[in-house]
Amino acid sequence: MKMTGNPVESGNIAAIIKQLGGLSSKLELANDQSPESKLYSFIPIASRIVVDLNLLEYIVNHDKAITSEELASLSGGEALLITRLLRALASVNFLNQVGEEVWQATPVTKAMASEGISAGIRVIGEMVAGAASKAPKYLKEAGYSCPTDPHDGFMQYALQTKLTSYQLFNSIPRVQKDFNNFMGNTLGARKMWLDWYPIEELLNGAVPDSALLVDVGGGKGHDLVAFHKKYPNKGRLVLQDFAIDTIGDLDPAIEPMYYDFFAEQPVKGVLIFISPPSPIPHLFDARLCFNTLGARAYYYHHILHDWSDYKCLEILKHVRDAMKPGYSKLFLHEMIIPETGASPIYAMLDITMMCFNAGMERTERQWRAVLETAGFEVVKVWPGPEVGSDGMVEAMVKE
């Protein structure tokens, strides 16, 4: 992503924070900073314990500041343990310490206490960070190259399984529930694609009765729900996921569909015959027929970043086969990492994807390479409107 102009003038908070970080590292002595940075790996662990004890909720729901003793009697944890954990989190501004063993919520604490973010802290802490701790050993044994096989990545090594991370999550209901809740809340306060993508380009030219938008791997359907809210009754909305039975209640405007995206895409153009077959065998079939179109758009939000290139090519083959050239659009709603100077959120999410499912966040050059190999033509790349937000890669079948 190209950052233009002065971030202070443009109000780009993430860019300002990044510049302040750069400035502080110049001011600190290198040999002070490097030992400190090694200690930060405990922050996700402390966050997870604090979430397990519901401490953030207690702090947020308490009208005024709250003591460690009060938190101990509410949570059942030891006051000394609570003080030590909260002190660590206050040191990185996740909450305020307003006195000796006295704590107060900030907007960050409120966000962390919300259901979606707490679910994310649990699932990342338990599954992904656990796998990450085994990465050095895995890489030493495997010869220091990025994992690409989802049956043989860090998670599989750490947990001694050959299931992909998704199959594994799916087999543990509480983890799957947390994951679905987390996925509904990954954008935070950032803008959605519906706030900046020219939706009329999707709606204009869409053929009534064919599906308008298929959300592939759409989780609990939050993106289609938002679409329907902003653009009601514009066409069929189809939600596909292989964990469709775990999503709970769904808006009746959306069609749920079980689908494994490593198999043939069922929402596709088909020939429909509207006259009987010829009575003469082997005669050229000249029956009256029409061709349905497949969907106007297939939308993949945070899907391909979970997979290495060769798995992306398998996924893309199935959607390409279902798409009507010149009509169907492919949307990849993903982070587009700048080629240089990536912000921590992009860089850290990339490593998270490596740990999670041998996946990868990609730069524009890398997205174009995968799509071109898969037989697509990139129509346009939309960088996310803010640092840390998702962009869009729009493509069509190469004719």
Ligand X SMILES: C[S@@+](CC[C@H](N)C(=O)[O-])C[C@H]1O[C@@H](n2cnc3c(N)ncnc32)[C@H](O)[C@@H]1O
Residues that bind ligand X (CB under 6 A): 166, 183, 186, 217-219, 241-243, 259-262, 301-303, 306
CA atoms within 13 A on the CB side of 330: 30
Q: How far is the CB of 129 from ligand X (least distance, A)?
A: 17
**CB nearer ligand X, residue 16 or residue 226:** 226
Distance CA 79, CA 69 (A): 5
Are β-strands 271-273 and 289-291 bridged in parallel, bridged antiparallel, or unpaired?
A: antiparallel
How many Cβ atoms are within 10 Å of 37's Cβ, its own excluded? 9
Choose, from 222, 301, 302, 305, the residue flagged as catalytic. 305
Residue nearer to ligand X on the CB measure, 97 or 186? 186
At residue 279, the 3 state secondary structure works out as: coil
Of 70 and 215, CB closest to ligand X: 215
Least distance to ligand X from the beta carbon of 147, Å? 17
CA distance 147 to 355: 9
* 257 bridge partner residues: 240
Residue 243 beta carbon to ligand X: minimum distance, rounded to whole angstroms: 4
Task: Report, in Å, the least distance between residue 106 CB and ligand X.
Answer: 26
The full DSSP string for 100-133 is: TTEEE--HHHHHHHSHHHHHHHHHIIIIIHHHHT
305 tagged catalytic = yes
3 state SS of 287: coil
CA distance 362 to 337: 6
Residue with tokens 């041998």: 358
Cβ closer to ligand X: 57 or 223? 223
Residue 18 or 302 with smaller CB distance to ligand X: 302
Distance between CA atoms of 94 and 86, rounded to whole angstroms?
9
Quote the DSSP letter at residue 252.
T
Supply the minimum distance, in Å, between the C-beta of residue 186 and ligand X.
6
Q: Give the residue numbers marked as catalytic.
A: 305
